[in-house]
Amino acid sequence: MDQSQLAMVVPRRYLLSEPPSAPVMASSCSQALRHHVCKSSRILRIHLQKSYRSFALNSAADQQPAVSSPEEIVIPKKKTWSKEAVLQALASAVKRDPTASDSRFQDDPYLTPKTSSEFKLFSLSQESGRNAAKYFINTYPKYFQKDYAQPHIPCLMPETLEAQIEEASEAALIERIRMRKVKAAVDLYDQLLQAGTSVSLDVTNQLLDLICFCGDHDPAQENVPEQRNEETEDVQDEPQAKKGRAPKASGLLKATWKENNNAERIFALLSEPNTHSYSALIRGMVKYGAYSKAFSTYTDLLNNRLKADVQTFNALIIAAPEVKEKYNEKWELIVDLLKQMAEQKVKPNLLTLNAVLKALRRCGTLGKSQAFPVISEMKALSIDPSLASYNHLLTIFYKTGATIQGQTDILQEVMNEVSGKSFTAQDPDDAQFFITAMRICLDTKDMEQAYRVHELLGVGENWRLLGNDFQQNIYYARFFSLLCMMENIDVMLKWYRDLVPSVYYPSSNIMRDLLQALDTDNRLDLIPQIWKDIKQLGHANRQNLVEELLILMAREKHNQEVQESFAECALDIKKIYDTGDRGKVLLSWTAGSLSDLISVLLAAHRRQDAWEMLKLFKTHNRVPSEELLNRFLTCVKEAGEVNQAVELVQISAGFCLPETPKLIQRVQQEFELTEQQRNMLSDLEIQTFNSD
């Protein structure tokens, strides 16, 4: 460093008032500059502290010395964020918009679903489009070799579905196992054995796993698009697994464990089967329904002085209720298995707990007494129950269809346990909890708990555990029928506006419940609004729903404004009756619906429209009621339309109603008739008299 520059800079630190950004001579090198800034900033800091202290002393209330000492600033360590951290923060800031549809449909407003069937159709077609693309890529990989992406994106590239290694070797066997080609793998294994090549125990165990998992069947060919149009979830590391799913679900029912299948054969070939081999075999047997065989295999395992692993025990606990008849025998077997676990020093896991609870569902009253001790036991082993455990617990205590007496506490206790917690999925049954809990709320008519359940759904990632769209529908349907039953209409409508149709498309039954709730709370004036929703939700073609709506509208007198809106609504309904869908008539007029509609129109003084409607009785071969005609006549009288009154009587006579003479009498008395009309009426009178 230049001496002169240093000399210039150093004196500056004695100038306390010098700001840190004071101009330094342009010639000073960067080092000198840094030195200067450092010094002056330190001086400034000391100065500030001094003034702070004197300030602190001045304020008498605070006797404590200033805590901050001239410590070095600790620069925090660099934090490495996960690659999703930014997005997660952003995503957590987005709240659900009750006026918008699901985010899946926001790309194209034309494809915004309005009804539940549209929702299903659109969401599935989106998925199936993806699957179709994947199918083509995988079927014709040679056309999709060009890799545009930089960096490389493996999941966009075609998967290799054909075995690459041809010669018979252990590597080829591993490859076939990885590709879940059961038959090919078994064949190759046999070839290897015949050739005298020994296969290592690990690989054999993997092969056993594969055979037992698939039940000695090749998983149905996954490249069939129509079987895969359910939602694909991305498990990137194992794309094969998801493909085997749809066929597996259907195949599970048919496939059974066959006597001496390849798994048993290969197992018998093993000179020294280990725990893994036994585990694979037992789990396969349990999966494919060979329960007693699984237990005898387990006895074999014990005879060979081996220990079972936790998965084996889980499988056996699942199988336990199948092999015993009586409730107490089932339970004893489970307890026995648990004791053996403890003996063999196998630590149970959450799935053990859930398996036991699931088995207890089939143990009758024993379940109620043993469920809580089981949970306590697992808690003592610091296994926290998942939602599936609570689901099993609730199912144990609340049987469907059974009358519930004094069991309400259990739901409350469960809610006390779970409320406010965020759960992650650990068990496939986790997704059952919410619909079970809501069912119980509906059964017990417990609005308070229902709110708690719904609140729990909003905590953290719990919404994921509500399950797929189908389950969501069940859940919300239960929630809504409970709301319709128990809540007053304002609260009900608040929920309705919040959830419909952005997350839930109510069925026509729920809409009927809603109408009844409106009726109970005397808020029939909301019917026109609800009718709009009904129309939008695609329930306008439900005869009973529409008729119910008409009955409610026609039943009582309302003020003029409401009647006016009712009349608009009624005309709208009439349109639905008239048009039909693609020439097919969806709704057919009944006498009741016609007369309800006419009385709604009459109440709103829409005589002309009502008159048009009255003619429909004739065209649809329906008979109007006397009451309706009387009401009509009153209305006609108010308007003073003599001609129409006479015509009305003629219509009535046309239907040969017994009321006709009275109507004639009324017309004769109440209207000023011309001579011609008078004659006509007396003619009619004679006619009806004769017909009688």
Partner 1 sequence: MYRRLLINIYQVRHGFIHTQNTRLPSTKCKERESFAPVIWAPCTARPLGTSSISFNENKESSTSLSEDKEKRPEENEAKEEVNTDGQKSTEMNECTEISNATLASQLETETVDRPEDSKQVEKTKSGKESLLELLGAMKVEVTTVRKIRPSKTPRMSARADQEPMESTHSMFQHATAEGSQQHGTLNPALVAAVSAAASTLPNRHQAESELLKQLRKHEAVPDTQRRADGQNIGHIIADMKVGRRTNGRSNASPTSHIRFDDDGKGYTQDRGITGELDAVRRRRSPFTSKRLNIFTAGMEQDTLSDLGPTLWDIDLANQIVQATNQTPRNGFEEMIQWTKDGKLWQYPINNEAGLEEEASVPFHEHVFLEKHLDESFPRQGPVRHFMELVITGLAKNHQLTVQQKKEHIDWFRDYFRQKDDVLKEAEA
Instruction: Tell which positions 40-69 bind partner 1, by CB under 8 A.
Output: 60-61
Q: Quote the CA–CA distance of 132 and 146 in Å, as a whole number.
A: 19
Q: Give the whole-angstrom CA distance, residue 278 versus residue 284.
A: 10
Cβ proximity of 509 and 545 under 8 Å: no
Is residue 413 near partner 1 by the rule CB under 8 A? yes
Nearer to partner 1, 276 or 478 (CB): 276
Q: Strand locations in 250-308, DSSP E?
A: none
Question: What CA–CA distance (Å, rounded) separates 102 from 116?
Answer: 12
Q: How many residues bind partner 1 (CB under 8 A)?
A: 84
Among 162, 234, 490, 692, binds partner 1 (CB under 8 A): 234
Q: Of 25, 66, 224, 235, which lies in the binding site for partner 1, with binding defined by CB under 8 A? A: 235
Site for partner 1 in 554-613 (CB under 8 A): none
Q: Please pick, from the candidates 53, 326, 339, 445, the single residue that binds partner 1 as defined by CB under 8 A.
A: 339
Q: Is the peptide bond before 151 cis (omega within 30 degrees of 0)?
A: yes
Residue 377 near partner 1 by CB under 8 A: yes
> How far apart are alpha carbons 551 and 35 in whole angstroms?
91
Could you tell me the smallest distance in angstroms from the CB atom of residue 119 to partner 1? 12
Closer residue to partner 1 in complex, CB, 377/647? 377
Please pick, from the candidates 49, 112, 275, 625, the single residue that binds partner 1 as defined by CB under 8 A.
275
Residues recorded for the chain? 692
Binding of partner 1 by 184 (CB under 8 A): no
In the region spanning residues 299 to 328, those forming contacts with partner 1, defined by CB under 8 A, are 307, 309, 311
What letters, b where the CB count within 10 A reaches 16 and e where it falls short, cover 147-178? Answer: eeeeeeeeeebbeeeeeeeeebbbebbbbbbe
Residue 280 or 552: the one with the smaller Cβ distance to partner 1 is: 280
Looking at residues 431 to 460 of the shown chain, list those that interact with partner 1 (rule: CB under 8 A): 431
Based on CB atoms, which residue is closest to partner 1, 416 or 691? Answer: 416
CA distance 326 to 262: 34
Taking the alpha carbons of 78, 82, 87, 90 in that order, is the dihedral positive or negative? negative
Q: How far apart are CA 604 and CA 247, in angstroms?
A: 60
**Where are the alpha helices (H) located in 59-161, listed in sequence order?**
85-92, 116-139
Cβ distance to partner 1 smaller for residue 430 or 446: 430
Interacting stretch for partner 1, rule CB under 8 A, among 91-99, 167-175, 357-365, 591-599? 91-99
Judged by CB under 8 A, does residue 153 bind partner 1? yes
The residue from 133, 269, 381, 585 that contacts partner 1 (CB under 8 A) is: 381
Q: Binding residue for partner 1 (CB under 8 A) from 81, 109, 142, 259?
A: 81
Least spacing, CB of residue 164 vs partner 1, in Å: 21
Of 70, 109, 373, 401, the one binding partner 1 by CB under 8 A: 373
Per CB under 8 A, the list member of 222, 264, 430, 609 interacting with partner 1 is 430
Number of Cβ atoms within 10 Å of the Cβ of 198: 9
Peptide bond into 501 cis (omega under 30): yes
Q: In the set 175, 209, 216, 222, which binds partner 1 (CB under 8 A)?
A: 209
Q: What distance in Å separates the CA atoms of residue 548 and residue 539, rounded to the nearest whole number?
A: 13
Query: Is 294 or 465 the residue whose CB approaches partner 1 more closely?
Result: 465
With CB under 8 A as the contact rule, which of the stretches 140-148, 429-437, 640-648, 659-667 interacts with partner 1?
Answer: 429-437
Beta partners for residue 584, in sequence order: 581
Where do we find the tokens 């309302």?
558
